[in-house]
Amino acid sequence: MVTQVYSNYGDVFRTIRLQRGFKVTSFEPELSKSALSRFEKGENSLALDKFCQALDKMKLTLTEFEGYAEDFRASKHNEALTQLYPLYYRQDDKALKELADYSRDWSFALAAKALYHELTDGEFLTKAEQSRLAAFLLEVVDWGTYELTILNAVISQFSVGVMRLLLTNLQETAAQHNQIFHFSRRVSQIYVKGIFTLIQEGEEKAARELLVYVEDFTKVDDLFSRALIYYVEGCFGYRFGDKVAGVAQIREAVHIFNLLESEHHADFLREMAQRYLGITEEL
């Protein structure tokens, strides 16, 4: 049989092989030690019949293996995703640049690149990159941690019109999940970031509309998200209303994050308000 098994299955195969106590020599003579080693390292692929024989040796069907592979990819995604925001909030632009340059996942690489731009030169992704991301995100109907994290990272990269399309799509497709705590928190964070961008752009009406929605969406007992909303309300007030009251509210929100022992968030939000809203007062 000439059909080839993708070489990125090798990492998954090796994990299962070790978990089940098989050696690289356990599949000989049908599959040589050298061929299996190269497959597991991603250096070559395997003929499907050889691969299925190896799976059979481990009492595993191809369908079962593909299920393991899907879980494995998801865990790898999640492992990578957990790196993004700690680096962002610590303002570690060099590490974000490395993630952007070396990730094999195009959407994750662009998410890291977007966050890198936010922390450094303030540039935007290219039009082609924005279009590719927008097409991907507008097709999402079943939001998971991965898709939400990507959207959160890149939402401020788009024009106001595209941003509103993306947030509307999220609002329509994510409402069914708003009772899940970690899900509703992530959605609230995306809206807060979008609102902050609209405030920067002077889009008062659009920012107010999204504020109303996210206030209703966010759980009352989620102090972290409520503090984020309180912060962006202060930013809204500073930009479109009473600057003195706005600064006072932003300062109080930053203080709440310090009380929550989330000093890196407090430092980050303080700097964002000063950098992008031009606030010179002590926060």
pLDDT digits (tens, 9 = 90+) for 209-229: 889 888 877 766 678 888 999
Lookup: tokens for 29: 């003579």
Please say if the pLDDT value at position 143 is more than 90. Answer: no
| Lowest-confidence pick of 37-51, 77-91, 200-214 | 77-91
| H helix runs in the chain, sequence order | 10-19, 33-40, 48-57, 62-89, 93-102, 106-119, 127-138, 145-154, 160-174, 181-200, 204-217, 223-240, 243-259, 263-277
Tell me what pLDDT residue 122 has.
75
Closest CA to 126 of 149, 102, 141, 109: 109
Tell me what pLDDT residue 154 has.
94
Tell me what pLDDT residue 39 has.
86
What average pLDDT does the segment 51-75 reach?
77
Q: At what angle do helices 223-240 and 181-200 cross, to 10 degrees?
A: 10
Tell me what pLDDT residue 223 has.
86
Structure confidence by residue, pLDDT tens digits, 75-128: 555 556 677 888 888 888 999 999 888 877 888 899 999 999 988 877 889 999
Whole-number Å distance between alpha carbons of 259 and 210: 27
The pTM of this model reads 0.68
